[in-house]
Amino acid sequence: MEIATLVYKQYLASRGIRRRVWSFVRKALIKLLSDPTCSLPIHGKHLKLPLSHSLPGYLKQFPFYDRLPQRFSEYIHQKQGHLNCIDVGANIGDTIASFYKEDTDTFIAIEPNPKFSKLLSENWGWNKKYHSGF
């Protein structure tokens, strides 16, 4: 397990003084190692993301945060059997992870930020139905 992943997992799992300690370690690694990449489960998929990314913390603190795409996906799959989706500002592909259910689902993802675009490709480049707009 990479150090950045270990630190983020410990940060998410801790509370109180331990959380503050892991928060300090996380912030130090972000500065010292230029925001290294870690890998965490996001919407049931392991995604690579920068250690500074806030989404895992939001998902832990707010269990219903970002759940609407999953509900849309379930509805569309019931009606059409597959999903065609365009994600503008795709970031690391977390919304794709939320929508993705079947190999027949097609995604066009547009992310202009080079750092996030690289992670988006690493997270979803294996999928033949994923196409990057940048």
Residue 105: pLDDT over 90: yes
- CB count, 10 Å around CB of 65? 12
Average pLDDT, the chain: 94
Tokens of 45: 């998929």
- CB count, 10 Å around CB of 55? 17
Task: Select from 12, 9, 36 the least CA-distant residue to 119.
Answer: 36
Residue 97: pLDDT over 90: yes
Question: How sure is the predictor about 66, in pLDDT bands with cuts at 50, 70 and 90?
Answer: confident
Pair 83, 98: CB distance under 8 Å: no
Pair 23, 88: CB distance under 8 Å: no
H helix or E strand, kind and range, residue 39? strand 37-42
Question: How sure is the predictor about 102, in pLDDT bands with cuts at 50, 70 and 90?
Answer: confident
Q: For 71, how many CA atoms within 13 A lie in the half-sphere containing its CB? A: 5
The region of weakest confidence among 18-22, 38-42, 88-92, 98-102 is 98-102
Rounded to whole angstroms, the Cα distance separating 131 from 134 reads 9
* DSSP states along 108-128: EEE---HHHHHHHHHHHTT-T
Instruction: List, in order of start, the domains of the chain with CATH numbers.
Output: 3-61 (no CATH), 68-132 (3.40.50.150)
**5-51 per-position pLDDT tens digit:** 999 999 999 999 999 999 999 999 999 999 999 999 999 999 999 99
